[in-house]
Chain A
Amino acid sequence: MILTLLILIPMIGGLLALAAARWSALASRWVALLAALVNLGITLALWAKFPTSLGVGKTFVEVNVPWVPRFGISYHLALDGLSLLLVLLTTLLTVVSVACSWREITERVGQFHLALLTLSAAILGTFLAFDLLLFFFFWEAMLVPMYFLIAIWGHENRRYAAIKFFLFTFFGGLFVLLGVIGLYVYNGHGTFDYIVLRGTMLPARAGMLMMLGLLTGFAVKLPVVPFHTWLPDAHTEASTAGSVMLAGLLLKTGAYGMLRFAIPLFPLASSTIAPVMMALGAAGILYGAILSYAQRDLKRMVAYTSVSHMGFVLLGIYAGTPLALQGAVLSIICHGLATGALFVIAGLIQERTRTRELAKLGGLWAVTPKLGGFTLFFALAALGLPGLGNFTGEFLVLLGAFPVNPIIASIAALGLIASVIYALWLVQKTVFGSNENQWTLPDLSGREVAVLGVLAALLLWLGLYPQPVFDTARDAIVAAQRPVDVQSDTEVGK
């Protein structure tokens, strides 16, 4: 019931925000913020109650009712450590998104909040679904509100970006559907239930094809390098809230799909393809970093850093050692916070200067010291400064990947150097230097400081004391470990 509420509250909140917009835009904003805060409160309460050791393959809260009995589809939501962490991230970033659009969005405010909160609901559903078709249902349901967020409230080239985003992810989703239908046809239980399917043995070749179907969809969302071309456009053209949701959450659904479905359902096929995926991960790290350095548009630059960071996540997931997986999960969360914050900053800068072009910026520290300070902080987080969360995550990924494949891990480690270059370049071009364009801008308001301050505090906390995240995720990610590491303590994947 509590899980259903998590999905319903944003949806109802969105509808109320739409209705409230008839009276005033401000009312609509408050309603949306309230709904997002209530959801955040519920998830925090759930986390507080979450046991320190849940047990492998167990779930904390669960709801399971038949939905379409003919196909054995059930409305099966469940919460384990992995889901909980991502749900926390989702509810937090939803609050951030509502807050950072407070002044930016002035048109169709009601519809905006409806789209934003529906998107949040769909993402929550994706992280909670324990039925493959239900998962796919939410997975596809994310597309429409995100499409609108880009297409209506986006920047200059929004039409192109929105359609490109939609087509890429929709095609990817259809491959997921192929895999899901394949699982249904081959498993012989006539069910889409994750728990049942996790224990079924599939013919090697069919299993490989289905795994590739699922993986294609997840790889487009993550994105893995050859499938990433939608990302820079979508991130750049979306409004600030859209970019935060995209970078902070939508990309994570791809990683989550791999951790939750692609690997545990097809352990053998996944370990076969793991070296390829690890290599793609390393390639993504370097490629994203290099391209990021070459960008002239602030948001586009941040977008390419996402490609790089997601490379670390991919590397960690397919390295499959406990350390690497923990690192990947921590990276997912920290990237959501840090990149979300960087997009918020890009939005703030654009709101003030009406431009995102790096060449026209510079010297902002002098006029807006608070903004400059935060920019420096999050750029340092992105480059992996020890003491901030991203460092811990990426370091663990490299540490965990090294014994599996030293060469790939070593190449990937070069990404840390590349990230220093782009992060410092970013700071250099925006806040440092002389104020050549004579910008005179208002500094951050209390609301903006609060949003960025919370994100900064969390990153600092995760950098210094990430143990709570590890404790929460530990039992849930056992299913995603490499078969060799798993045999000793669990039967998962047999």
Chain B
Amino acid sequence: MTCRDLVSMLPILIPAYAGVALMAVVAFLRSARLAFWFTVIALAASFAAVFVSAAYAPRTVSHMIRVDAYSLFFDAVILAASLLVTLLCGDYLRSHEKRSEAFYVLLLFAVTGMLVIASSAHFLTFFLGLETLSASLYGLIGYTRRQSVSLEAAIKYLVLAAASSAFLLFGIALIYADAGTMGFSGLMLMAHKGMLTTVSAFGLAMLVVGVGFKLAWVPFHMWSPDVYQGAPAPVTALIASGSKGAVFALLLRLVAAGGLQNNRHSFIALAVLATATMFVGNLLALNQTNVKRLLAYSSIAQMGYLLIPVLANGAMGVPSAAFYLISYMAAAIAAFGVISVCSARRESGDMEQLSDYTGLAASKPALAAVFALALLSLTGLPLTAGFFAKFYIFTAAAERGLWWLLIVGVVNTGMSAFYYLRVVFALYSHRDTRVSGFERSGNLETPELTPSTALTPMISLSACAAVVVFLGLYPAPLIRLAEAAARALNF
């Protein structure tokens, strides 16, 4: 391990050591404000370090970590997303949890885990990163410990994540038993020579189960709505954006390495997963009255759309997936960010019923506009990032002649418009004329809308909205970046 290796790993090392340092500091000086700004600065520094490392890429650090344009691209994306989420946290935690220093320590470790996953070139690093992420998330999800939903969500996540890790480990073991290597490049070599046997295929299938749990593909999606609902809103934003982004980045790398979709059986398996994920996610979202659950099902469906470019592969596969992922992450952070801001001043739980959001536009036009923008982007309407994202992945599928997959995607996009618009309609209707038929499970008395007015969450929300609108108007730069990143995968 040389000095250059260390410099090239700076984006991962900074949050890791920042987490340790913060742990030491808060032992003596308990200050949530200090911890918050420390985390913000650490993440910003790490983001800046991505550009420093770029000078040393491509490079493989001791077979374990791959630093190339692809991993740096996703490092930057994950760090940006985490930074935006962190900005949401400060104000939210101030009213929900007195002692929030440890939250930031866990957050930094979670980010470290995501970065390790995105940069891993070896199953061992992948597993390490995933466990670091999961372990931190248990704490983060249950952090508002006085609320039983939060604790329930944490336990649920703990049990299911542990189970999925077991699958993952077993899968890795089987692959190792067959291929004799745990490095992705070695695996790719074996796959191309056609030397992988059924044992490896079985291992890969278990790997897909493990990854599927994290990305909440159907039928491994059961945890998702409960955890999304129970976790504090900023943590939900992190799970929906950074955590999914990191695992997806790894999946794309693995798929590019193993040529998963070139094999007939694995193609069919992934195609079935994709179709089921899209349909189940969208259908279950249709009648949700809880906004957090609705967004949970929607993000299940979004992960289904993301399988379209994976199946398509080809020249457009990886870049279109990267583009879609980024536009999805921006919209998800914006959506959960609005929920977080609306809930920041509430003593009891998050503001999550659809009826609570009725008439938000009248009292808080800017917040409602950001929420509506995020939802329209998730639908895929023009002037938002979602439009080009959908167009990009559909074109990727069409280019490979996967018309049936395209039609599944199109039908699902049409369906999804229904529930996204329901929320938009609620935002813009009058407070007194409740959305008929959908407020049944809502509180009978109208809770006062008291969204936070703190500055930091507003910065985060404006940044997300800006990204969504910019990509909706001028996607060319990000397309170029994504294509450059994808080229690095052909190592």
Chain A interfacial positions (CB closer than 8 Å to B): 67-71, 133, 137-138, 140-141, 143-144, 147-148, 151-152, 159, 162-163, 166-167, 170-171, 174-175, 177-178, 181-182, 184-185
B383 within 8 A of A: yes
B435 within 8 A of A: yes
Q: Which A residues touch B425, using CB under 8 A?
A: 151, 159, 162-163
CB <8 Å contact, A70 and B414: no
CB <8 Å contact, B382 and A137: yes
- Stretch of B98-106, B176-184, B289-297, B476-484 contacting A (4+ beta carbons < 8 Å): B476-484
CB <8 Å contact, B383 and A141: yes
Given A141-B381, A144-B381, A177-B394, also A166-B479 (CB < 8 A): no
Query: How many Å lie between the Cα of A133 and that of B388 in the bound state?
Result: 10
Given A68-B479, A152-B428, also A174-B410 (CB < 8 A): yes
Given A68-B476, A166-B421, A184-B395, also A141-B414 (CB < 8 A): no
Query: How many Å lie between the Cα of A212 and that of B407 in the bound state?
Result: 14
CB <8 Å contact, B418 and A163: yes
B150 within 8 A of A: no
Query: How many Å lie between the Cα of A402 and that of B399 in the bound state?
Result: 43
B391 within 8 A of A: yes
6 closest A-B pairs by CB: A141-B382, A171-B414, A174-B410, A137-B382, A181-B398, A140-B382
Chain B interfacial positions (CB closer than 8 Å to A): 376, 381-383, 387-388, 391, 394-395, 398-399, 406-407, 410, 413-414, 417-418, 421-422, 425, 428-429, 435-436, 474-476, 479-480, 483
Q: How far is the CB of B210 from chain A (nearest CB, A)?
A: 34
| Count of CB-CB pairs between chains A and B under 8 Å | 72
CB <8 Å contact, B414 and A174: yes
CB <8 Å contact, A166 and B410: no
CB <8 Å contact, A181 and B395: yes
CB <8 Å contact, A71 and B395: yes
Q: How far is the CB of A149 from chain B (nearest CB, A)?
A: 11
Q: Which A residues touch B417, using CB under 8 A?
A: 166-167, 170
CB <8 Å contact, B480 and A70: yes
Kindly list 19 other residue pairs between chains A and B, CB separation below 8 angstroms, not including A68-B476, A151-B425, A167-B418.
Answer: A67-B474, A67-B476, A133-B391, A137-B382, A144-B376, A144-B381, A147-B421, A152-B428, A159-B435, A159-B436, A162-B425, A163-B422, A163-B425, A177-B394, A178-B394, A178-B406, A181-B391, A181-B406, A185-B399
Tell me what chain B mostly uses at the interface: helix, strand, loop, or mixed.
helix
CB <8 Å contact, B428 and A69: no
Given A137-B382, A141-B381, A185-B395, also A178-B414 (CB < 8 A): no
16 contacts between A and B (CB under 8 A): A68-B476, A68-B479, A69-B476, A70-B476, A70-B480, A137-B382, A138-B382, A151-B429, A152-B428, A159-B436, A163-B418, A166-B421, A177-B394, A178-B394, A178-B407, A181-B398
CB <8 Å contact, B421 and A70: no
- Pick the contact of A181: B394, B413, B422, B428 (CB < 8 A): B394
| Chain A residue with the shortest CB-CB distance to B394 | A181
CB <8 Å contact, A185 and B398: yes
Q: Which A residues touch B413, using CB under 8 A?
A: 174
Q: Which B residues touch A171, using CB under 8 A?
A: 414
| Chain B residue with the shortest CB-CB distance to A138 | B382
Query: How many Å lie between the Cα of A137 and that of B421 in the bound state?
Result: 19
Q: Which A residues touch B436, using CB under 8 A?
A: 159
Query: How many Å lie between the Cα of A162 and that of B428 in the bound state?
Result: 13
Query: How many Å lie between the Cα of A133 and that of B436 in the bound state?
Result: 38
Query: How many Å lie between the Cα of A68 and that of B474 in the bound state?
Result: 7
Given A151-B428, A170-B417, also A70-B479 (CB < 8 A): yes
Q: Which A residues touch B406, using CB under 8 A?
A: 178, 181
Query: How many Å lie between the Cα of A163 and that of B425 in the bound state?
Result: 9
CB <8 Å contact, B381 and A143: yes
Query: How many Å lie between the Cα of A171 and that of B416 in the bound state?
Result: 11
CB <8 Å contact, A167 and B414: yes
Query: How many Å lie between the Cα of A342 and that of B399 in the bound state?
Result: 48
| Chain B residue with the shortest CB-CB distance to A107 | B430
Query: How many Å lie between the Cα of A163 and that of B413 in the bound state?
Result: 15
| Chain A residue with the shortest CB-CB distance to B406 | A178
Most-contacted residue by chain B among A144, A152, A162, A182 (CB, 10 A) = A144
| Chain A residue with the shortest CB-CB distance to B397 | A181
CB <8 Å contact, B382 and A177: no
Query: How many Å lie between the Cα of A170 and that of B417 in the bound state?
Result: 8
| Chain B residue with the shortest CB-CB distance to A151 | B425
Q: Which A residues touch B475, using CB under 8 A?
A: 68
Q: Which B residues touch A70, using CB under 8 A?
A: 476, 479-480, 483
Q: Which A residues touch B391, using CB under 8 A?
A: 133, 177, 181
Query: How many Å lie between the Cα of A170 and that of B418 in the bound state?
Result: 10
